Amino acid sequence: MSTVLVVNSGSSSIKYQLVDTVHGSALASGIVERIGETVGSIKHTFADATTSRTDPVPDHGAGLRAVLDLFREQGPDLQEAGIVAVGHRVVHGGSVFGGPVLVTDEVMDQIDALSPLAPLHNPPNLTGIRVARELFPDVPHVVVFDTAFFRTLPEAAATYAIDKEVAAAYGVRRYGFHGTSHQYVSTRVAEVLGRRPQDLNQIVLHLGNGASASAVRGGVAVETSMGLTPLEGLVMGTRSGDLDPAVLIHLQRNAGMSVDDVDDLLNRRSGLKGLSGENDFRALHGLVDAGDPDAVLALDVYLHRLRKYVGAYCAVLGRVDVIAFTAGVGENDEIVRARALENLESLGIAVDLEKNAGRIREPRIISPDWATTTVMVVPTNEELAIARQAVDLVGDAPDDSADLGHA
Ligand code: ADP
């Protein structure tokens, strides 16, 4: 058996999954939450049984050790699990990393140097790697970056039209995020359709709590909606997405807001939540059905932005063979899927309401047969994608570099 322990370490949480890379399945998974608070929580699922604990989890080290205890007590036995690598998700790889890498001290320093571009993400990602290297000193550790798939963006798409010297000095450009998901889904689309990725032009809509769109030409990412940070682009659960940059200037000049206030406003008090008080689509639809005008407007703003991106990416690609929905909203919300693409028949784009019905767990075509663009729902699986990239890298590593990941 060949398995990878995938670790996604956030500021106050650690998500993990033990992935069987041969069968593409999760053997066990779980989440540690509220790290550093008075009471933390841990959930571990193995063989259809979930064990939950509420214990103080003072730091990431304690969190991962508690996870190892749960593996020992509830299974599966990690000594027997055939772990060939630990795969880590890191949000920002800047212009440095265009693919997965084996963790070395130098790589850790490079990720640390990118922290100003992702102050909320890269430092906790690094903490997770540090702790995991101590706990798994004999296995190679591999980092997969959220930005890597978008390293291929053409300069015209990646460049912001500001003073080029300021941009160069501070690394200001479009990096893109959710790359692991966009890459996985666009590859799956080709597999499911029995086509070669190089023959397909695709728009991928990753709609979760965070949301992003990408244009993928022949398997290569050519445009994406997130930018320097994961704030740009689509309307999200709590993030504004696109706005006039002068809004920031206006609020700082006239509303007495500090840099941190604006950061908090745009990242945590905006999007669907800012407009309606709700960031979960299940609750938002309830409010819409009850006629709540704020919720109605929030949904309209969300869909308007999404349609604008679909239209823009049709122009970027010229010919669109596939539009693929994925992530929590994309996989589960038939209303969002149908309304996002309604009245686009003149572009050869449509959704068949019967095929579109319900929550979708397996890849499915939801467009009518006559449509020239195939609309699909393709569930994402970032953990599997990270695990497979880790196995590929470890397998490909020359013998003498297999030790690089050892602490
Ligand atoms: P992230 O990984 O960005 O935290 P997910 O991809 O898990 O987010 O998506 C979470 C979102 O998916 C929820 O906030 C909710 O809006 C939406 N969602 C989940 N289940 C459903 C459902 N059954 N119907 C509609 N929306 C759903």
CA-atom Rg of the chain in angstroms:
21
For ligand 1, the distance from its centroid to the CA atom of residue 129, given in whole angstroms, is 27
Judge contact between 1 and 81, C-beta under 8 A: yes
Q: Which amino acid is at 6?
A: V
> 396 pLDDT exceeds 80?
no
Q: Would you say the CB of residue 329 lies under 6 angstroms from ligand 1?
A: yes
**Residue 348, ligand 1, Cβ within 6 A:** no
Probe residue for ligand 1, chosen from 280, 359, 378 as the CB with the greatest number of ligand atoms within 8 Å: 280
User: Does residue 383 have its Cβ closer than 6 Å to ligand 1?
Assistant: no
Instruction: Assign a CATH topology to domain 3-169+386-394.
Output: Nucleotidyltransferase; domain 5 (3.30.420)
| Residue 404 pLDDT level (bands cut at 50, 70, 90) | very low
Least confident of 15-24, 62-71, 365-374, 389-398: 389-398
Is residue 146 among the annotated active site residues?
yes
User: Is pLDDT above 60 for 400?
Assistant: no
Q: Which of 31, 231, 325, 333 to mutate to test the pocket of ligand 1 (most atoms within 8 A of CB)?
A: 333
Angle at 346 between CA 212 and CA 355, to 5 degrees: 65
Looking from the CA of residue 380, the nearest atom of ligand 1 is: 6
Q: Which of 8, 15, 281, 326 to mutate to test the pocket of ligand 1 (most atoms within 8 A of CB)?
A: 281
Confirm or reject: Cβ of 319 under 6 Å from ligand 1.
Answer: no
Contacts 24+ apart (CB under 8 A), 273-279: 273/237, 273/238, 274/238, 274/240, 275/301, 279/209, 279/237, 279/238
Calculate mean pLDDT across residues 325-344. Answer: 98
Which pair of structure tokens corresponds to residue 302?
């969300």
Ligand 1 neighbourhood includes 298 CB (under 6 angstroms): no
Residue type, 297: L
pLDDT, residue 1, reads 79
Q: Which residue has its alpha carbon closest to ligand 1 atom 25?
A: 333
What are the residue ranges of helices labelled H in 198-317?
Answer: 246-254, 259-268, 271-276, 281-289, 293-317
The active-site residue out of 146, 199, 242, 263 is 146
Domains 3-169+386-394 and 196-382 share a fold: yes
pLDDT at position 405 is 30
The CB density around residue 36, as the number of other CB atoms within 10 Å, is 14
pLDDT digits (tens, 9 = 90+) for 64-109: 999 999 999 999 999 999 999 999 999 999 999 999 999 999 999 9
280 CA to middle of ligand 1, Å?
A: 7
The residues spanned by each domain of the chain are 3-169+386-394, 196-382
Ligand 1 binding pocket includes 361 (Cβ within 6 Å): no
Atom of ligand 1 nearest to the CA of 237: 14
Given a cut of 80, whether residue 401 has pLDDT beyond it is no
Which residue from 29, 332, 360 has its CB within 8 A of the most atoms of ligand 1, so it is best to mutate?
332
- Structural contact between residues 225 and 309, judged by C-beta atoms closer than 8 angstroms: yes
Report how far residue 158's alpha carbon sits from residue 160's, in angstroms, rounded to the nearest whole number. Answer: 7
| Greatest C-alpha distance within the chain | 65
Q: Which atom of ligand 1 is nearest to the CA of 359?
A: 23
282 lines ligand 1 (CB under 6 A): yes
What local confidence, expressed as pLDDT, does residue 353 receive? 98
Query: What are 194's two structure tokens?
Result: 């029995």
Q: What DSSP designation does 379 have?
A: -
The secondary element (H helix, E strand) that includes residue 55 is strand 49-55
How is residue 310 written in tokens?
A: 């679909």
CA of 329 to the centre of ligand 1 (A): 5
- Report whether pLDDT(399) > 50: no
Atom of ligand 1 nearest to the CA of 207: 6
**Got the DSSP string for 313-341?**
HHHHHSS--EEEEEHHHHHH-HHHHHHHT
Mean pLDDT for 147-152 is: 97
Query: Is pLDDT above 60 for 397?
Result: no
**What are the beta bridge partners of residue 214?**
204, 224
Ligand 1 neighbour 334 (Cβ under 6 A): no
> 284: Cβ below 6 Å to ligand 1?
no
pLDDT at residue 406 in the model: 30
pLDDT band, very low/low/confident/very high, at 367 (cuts 50, 70, 90): very high
Pick the CATH number of 196-382 from 3.40.1170.60, 3.40.50.1220, 3.50.50.60, 3.30.420.40: 3.30.420.40
379 within ligand 1 shell (Cβ under 6 A)? no
40: how many CB neighbours lie within 10 A of its CB? 21
Residues 6+ apart with CB under 8 A from 334: 356, 357, 358
Long-range contacts, stretch 49-58, CB < 8 angstroms, 24+ apart: 49/74, 57/32
Quick one: DSSP state of residue 235? -
Arithmetic mean of pLDDT, 134-153: 96
Q: Is 328 a pocket residue for ligand 1 (Cβ < 6 Å)?
A: yes
